[in-house]
Structure 1
């Protein structure tokens, strides 16, 4: 995505709906506990909640990275954390839902074939990100040394956090646009994959 392609007004306008979706999904989970077959439906329903949460979080953080240039390094580190957690947690949530769907005694909310096709499309879309070893290594360092933890683990200092701050400062001197960031490039790819996956499994719900 480049600055020419980005419609800031439309992007901002999409955030309230994303927030409403995740709040609705959370309330559905709250009520679901009291419903029949909850344990059967729970993995799928919680997967839908997680997709809504990712969509909302990614949109809010992306907006801040793209519009708050002065504080870009702060927003970008937490966007990196969101990317890391999504790439590691979403496959687990998908597999958890699929395992439950495979049990012969379970009632289904969605045809298995449709779920499998949507999951495969998601995996193929994000494969470019997860197979980028250099990026994934950097993302792990951001997560472990800058965002989720601040250093001083296992006898180490704050080298990663210091390096991140210095890198951000040097980048600011070049007037480099956030639109050129690989974080943004991969965030857009992941965000669209999450949206598409959610739309696919949402469109196929049974009765």
Structure 2
């Protein structure tokens, strides 16, 4: 389900819509809402395998990794975005707002779903760039990852990884994931 509204939605309206549509993943894009239906088994498998690949890498550090069950709030004086990235790594520079995290993750992985490609490739990419996420990985379910890094406040493609290669984080160079176990 892709539910879009043709007018600005306030945060209060968003919270109500989110409660009424709890079976959907709801994200707030500074006045716009995207409700998406449940993801596929393959989408979930890829998320699980990437998280297994991250494993204990962040044990005994000031960083934690989470999945889409946790909302990340990006905000400045004029804008608010509430996203649920498929996987993200946040370190000690964040605040809590209920169960949500207010801050900028160090790494984000978004596994692209066919019906929502535009959202990950364009809308979220621009938002993550605006709020200076250091590394953004767009994961194609067919076995590719495009890694964007922030350079001079703009995203640039750092590299891409294919299903038979080893993913290597640009931000945490010792973080590697063997993609043959992911795809």
State TM-score, norm by structure 1. 0.24
Q: Give the structure with higher Rg (CA).
A: 1
State TM-score, norm by structure 2. 0.27
Q: Which has the higher helix share?
A: 1
